[in-house]
Structure 1
Amino acid sequence: MNKIILTSLLLLQTLIADKIDDYNQGVYAYSDKNYIEAAYWYKKAAVQGEAFAQTNLAVMYYLGQGIKQDYKEALYWYENAANQGNPTAQLNLGYMYKNAIGTQQDYQKALYWFEKAALWGDAYAQYHVGQIYYLGEGIEVNYSLAMSWYEKAAIQGDRDAQYALAYMYENAKGVAQDYTKAFYWYKKSALQGDVNAQLSTGYMYENAQGIAQNYHEAFNWYEKAAKQGNLLAQYNLANLYYNALGTPQNYEKALYWYEQAALQGDVNAQVNLAYMYDSAKGTAQDYKKAFMWYEKAAKEGNATAQQNLAIMYYFAQGVEQNYEKALYWYEKAALQDKAIAQNNLAELYYNALGTPQDFGKAKYWYKKAAHHKIANAEYKLGEIYYKGQDTIVDYQNALLYYEQAANEGVVHAQYKTAQMYLKGLGTAQDYKKAFDYFEKAALQNDINAQVNLGYLYYNGKGVAQNYESAYYWYKKAANEKSQEAQLALANLYYDGLGVSQDYHQALLWYEKAASEKNLKAQLNLAYMYYDGMGIDQDYKKALYWYEQAALQNSKIAQLNLGYMYYVGNGTLQDYKNAFSWYEKAALQDEVSAQYSLGYMYEFGQGVDYDYDKAVYWYEKAALAGNIEAKSKLDKLLKRKKDKPKT
């Protein structure tokens, strides 16, 4: 019995020596990159049960080194070694079960073998145990156990575990949120080159999370990650270059990094890159490239890109003008609640561009934009309600939206709001509010508002009467060629109100307005020349301006023009022309012209004598209260009555 045991012991020692020797032969061959020979010796030792040889043989089957790649064989030999307690085999076996390599996926077996290796202190195995608990792969999610295993691996310097642990602290997964600890572990991982950790470290520096804000450090970490191809880091780095944060402003480098991220499909980078080409930042303006990048981002659903793409179609920037496509992309962006797109979409419907005119749809989208305080939308809603477009005229709602836009600084809305308060439309008449809004618009150089402000000062409505202020505002508008203001300014010079009386200045401003066919200015100019008010009397010029006013159908001008032809003032006496102008005025119920027409028919001046027509016109004038006409009528009628019968 003792001999047998001894013999057995001697045989066991020989076998152990042989398999170790075989294993060592494999190691030597492998180190010399003689993989075929290494595989031979490893297999020889593995068959004898040498765990390290089994593990190394599994690796060679896995990688196809010196032997045909065979995942099932790799799994087989890993399992043999793992069952003997080899931590490397246990780790790799867990990896194969987790990722379904050479076997069906089995998270429970993966966890079993990862835990075996983890208990040996293998950091990578500890990380994978943490991952399975974190993700709940084959088991329930358990953040507490995940954190425990991540921490073990992180302390050993595993960068993936450090990143995962930091993420849990940052996002309060199984632990109270702690930016300081998150930053600590992100930076540990980042220092080992983990690209995501570098990104996160940069982000925390940029946003003062767990560390004092430091744009320069953020820049450094973003740059490290960007150079490793991380698209978010590339995008953030571009932002820092663009906004001069942590580095001097450099649009060219911003453009470069936006493009790197854009080429990887980052939509925000595509939008910003398009904007830089659109606005010539860091590059020559290039609408075609801007259009290309906006289109890429727009097709990915980015609302800003959709909005800007529509603008480019609308204005023919980098593409042929196409209102239909502008409408299409505005609607896409509008449905994502982009206020400018909502306003511009409404404009297309309002103005029938790329679509039939539709005030209902215009109103719908203007209201959406108005909700975002887009002033143009508020103003246009005021217009729709004021004009009764797609609705009955509604002054109350018109005033509501006009006033909203007015308070946003829209000058036309300020003017319209003032007009409604002045006239009492949609509200009680309120001269004070009218004055306030006219003043707002006037200060923005709205000429009509300046005229109305002058009017309110002149008449003391909504403000104390002040001729000097009236003069000031009329003068501003007059200098901008407002006929109404020129007329009012001339009147102030004529009457000496708010300014020293000056007939020559009055004449000057009347002439400016009259030259633009302002009827009242033409009449006043004619009066001044006719009467020689502060200037030399000049019947010819009076005649000229009366004629200009008469051609605008002024019955007063027609009357006076008739008189000047009748008596020969500024022209040769001309009864026919006198008659013609008197007739025009008479037909507009000008009483003196009716009398004069009767007179000319009675005496055959410029027209054949006509008793009946003389009676007709005298009668019309008499009925309107003209005493001379009544007297003439009575005499004519009496003459006819007293005329002897033949």
Structure 2
Amino acid sequence: MNKQFYSLLILLTIFIWNNNNIALSKESKINISQLKKQAKRGDAKAENALGDYYDSITRMPVNEGCFPYNRRQTIKYYTKAARQGYTKAQKSLGMLYTQLPCSEYDKGIYWLKKIAFKGDVEAQMRLGYVYYMTSNVIEETIFWYEKAAKLNNTTAMLELGRIYEKYDYDKAIYWYKKGMALGNAYSSFGLCNLYFMSQDTPEEEIKRYKEKGLNKDNKKSDKYCLISANQGKAEAQFTVGAQYMTGRRVLKNEKKAMEYFKKSCLQKYDMGCDAYHGKMNFNDVTY
């Protein structure tokens, strides 16, 4: 793409974006005054709609730091609706307060809990994330991720697997397998990595894992890596391809190797592309 074409593309994008915002502004003027009248009468739905409106235009360029006028208006109307028990506003407010870089976690947690205890998975996931990022009390993170996981959220299962790897291998394996069974390629790749040991892994390290309840096993690692590759994980596809290319722990099959490299490359995984285009020295690859 030449520079002139690239510059024209940027200008066109800005033109379309500006015109869309102008259209939004013109359309909004028709309804905003009516919504404000309804909001003054305590209509929670109208208050939430106003919160949505001001949230949509907060993304326009402003020079007032974390709390431009639009954001203050967003919070004002969401709060009015949230205090009346309007769940959409409570969720929006909770998400808004936990956004970086302008987070107010205590307020966000307060509103998210209102709906998380009622079974809102997205709120449960955000609470798990917030506690993980801001607290040394891992129990709160686990509490919320487990609630989401029990509602079949595979991302929560994956996060639990990652957390439990540091504390309890049996529980890590349990949650990884739950996620894998529901088709989560990252969970099956978690198992692949958990069981893997390279030819350079010291015996002392393998012994330490065993003492903590984990028997490293490359047969299991290969099994789960293949599952992950077939579920679509690009890194696992590269790993399986590398095995077929070199014949390590499998019968050498360059055709199959190239099939997996291609799949990996199509997902823009750099090592997969290098392998597919013949730019990789497999003597330098540990797997």
Instruction: Sort the Cα spacing of 1:196 and 1:400 in 2 relative to 1 into closer, same or farther, 3 A.
Output: same
Work out whether 1:379 is the aligned partner of 2:235. no
Preserved contact between residue 188 and residue 227 of structure 2 (Cα < 8 Å): no
Instruction: Name the aligned partner's letter for residue 201 of structure 1.
Output: L
Note the C-alpha offset of 1:326: 2.7
- Alignment partner of 1:200 out of 31, 34, 49: 49
Question: Secondary structure, in 3 states, of the residue corresponding to 1:190?
Answer: helix
- Alignment partner of 1:220 out of 76, 80, 95: 76
Question: Secondary structure, in 3 states, of the residue corresponding to 1:259?
Answer: helix
CA distance in 1, matches of 2:181, 2:29: 41
Question: Secondary structure, in 3 states, of the residue corresponding to 1:214?
Answer: helix
Work out whether 1:369 is the aligned partner of 2:243. no
Note the C-alpha offset of 1:181: 5.8
CA distance in 1, matches of 2:33, 2:153: 35
Instruction: Sort the Cα spacing of 1:368 and 1:252 in 2 relative to 1 into closer, same or farther, 3 A.
Output: same
Equivalent residue, structure 1, for 2:129: 275
Listed as ranges, the matches of 1:14-163 within 5 Å are: none
Listed as ranges, the matches of 1:313-462 within 5 Å are: 313-316=164-167, 321-323=168-170, 325-334=171-180, 336-348=182-194, 357=220, 359-370=222-233, 373=234, 375=235, 377-388=236-247, 391-398=250-257, 401=260, 404=264, 408-410=269-271, 417-419=279-281
Asked which structure has the greater CA Rg, the reply is 1
Instruction: Sort the Cα spacing of 1:380 and 1:226 in 2 relative to 1 into closer, same or farther, 3 A.
Output: same
Preserved contact between residue 157 and residue 178 of structure 2 (Cα < 8 Å): yes
Aligned length: 229
Equivalent residue, structure 1, for 2:5: none
Equivalent residue, structure 2, for 1:252: 106
Note the C-alpha offset of 1:298: 1.1
Note the C-alpha offset of 1:218: 1.7
CA distance in 1, matches of 2:216, 2:280: 34
Note the C-alpha offset of 1:292: 0.8
Instruction: Sort the Cα spacing of 1:305 and 1:186 in 2 relative to 1 into closer, same or farther, 3 A.
Output: farther
Preserved contact between residue 244 and residue 251 of structure 2 (Cα < 8 Å): yes
Question: Secondary structure, in 3 states, of the residue corresponding to 1:221?
Answer: helix
Instruction: Name the aligned partner's letter for residue 237 of structure 1.
Output: L
Residues 374-433 of structure 1, C-alpha deviations (whole Å, 9 max, x = no match): x3x23321233135467521134435645847963459x77x95225xx9xxxxxxxxxx
Instruction: Name the aligned partner's letter for residue 278 of structure 1.
Output: Y
Instruction: Sort the Cα spacing of 1:354 and 1:298 in 2 relative to 1 into closer, same or farther, 3 A.
Output: farther
Note the C-alpha offset of 1:228: 2.5
Note the C-alpha offset of 1:224: 1.3
Preserved contact between residue 237 and residue 257 of structure 1 (Cα < 8 Å): yes
Residues 429-483 of structure 1, C-alpha deviations (whole Å, 9 max, x = no match): xxxxxxxxx9xx9xxxx9xxxxxxxxxxxxxxxxxxxxxxxxxxxxxxxxxxxxx
Residues 336-364 of structure 1, C-alpha deviations (whole Å, 9 max, x = no match): 55442242244457679699727445312
Equivalent residue, structure 2, for 1:289: 140
CA distance in 2, matches of 1:314, 1:244: 27
CA distance in 1, matches of 2:78, 2:215: 46
CA distance in 2, matches of 1:217, 1:203: 10
Question: Secondary structure, in 3 states, of the residue corresponding to 2:220?
Answer: coil
Question: Secondary structure, in 3 states, of the residue corresponding to 2:42?
Answer: coil
Preserved contact between residue 340 and residue 369 of structure 1 (Cα < 8 Å): no
Q: TM-score, normalised by structure 2?
A: 0.62
Residues 51-84 of structure 1, C-alpha deviations (whole Å, 9 max, x = no match): xxxxxxxxxxxxxxxxxxxxxxxxxxxxxxxxxx
CA distance in 1, matches of 2:116, 2:159: 17
Instruction: Sort the Cα spacing of 1:408 and 1:289 in 2 relative to 1 into closer, same or farther, 3 A.
Output: same
Note the C-alpha offset of 1:295: 0.6
Instruction: Sort the Cα spacing of 1:186 and 1:349 in 2 relative to 1 into closer, same or farther, 3 A.
Output: farther
Preserved contact between residue 334 and residue 345 of structure 1 (Cα < 8 Å): no
Q: Percent identity?
A: 27
- Alignment partner of 1:300 out of 140, 151, 157: 151
CA distance in 2, matches of 1:260, 1:297: 15
Preserved contact between residue 193 and residue 221 of structure 2 (Cα < 8 Å): no
Equivalent residue, structure 2, for 1:231: 87
Superposition RMSD in Å: 4.1
Preserved contact between residue 202 and residue 221 of structure 1 (Cα < 8 Å): yes
Preserved contact between residue 239 and residue 254 of structure 1 (Cα < 8 Å): yes
Equivalent residue, structure 1, for 2:14: none
Preserved contact between residue 185 and residue 229 of structure 2 (Cα < 8 Å): no
Instruction: Name the aligned partner's letter for residue 81 of structure 2.
Output: A
Note the C-alpha offset of 1:299: 0.9
Residues 78-128 of structure 1, C-alpha deviations (whole Å, 9 max, x = no match): xxxxxxxxxxxxxxxxxxxxxxxxxxxxxxxxxxxxxxxxxxxxxxxxxxx
Note the C-alpha offset of 1:229: 3.0
CA distance in 2, matches of 1:386, 1:233: 54
Preserved contact between residue 185 and residue 228 of structure 2 (Cα < 8 Å): no
CA distance in 2, matches of 1:329, 1:184: 51
Equivalent residue, structure 2, for 1:633: none
Preserved contact between residue 310 and residue 330 of structure 1 (Cα < 8 Å): yes
Note the C-alpha offset of 1:184: 5.5
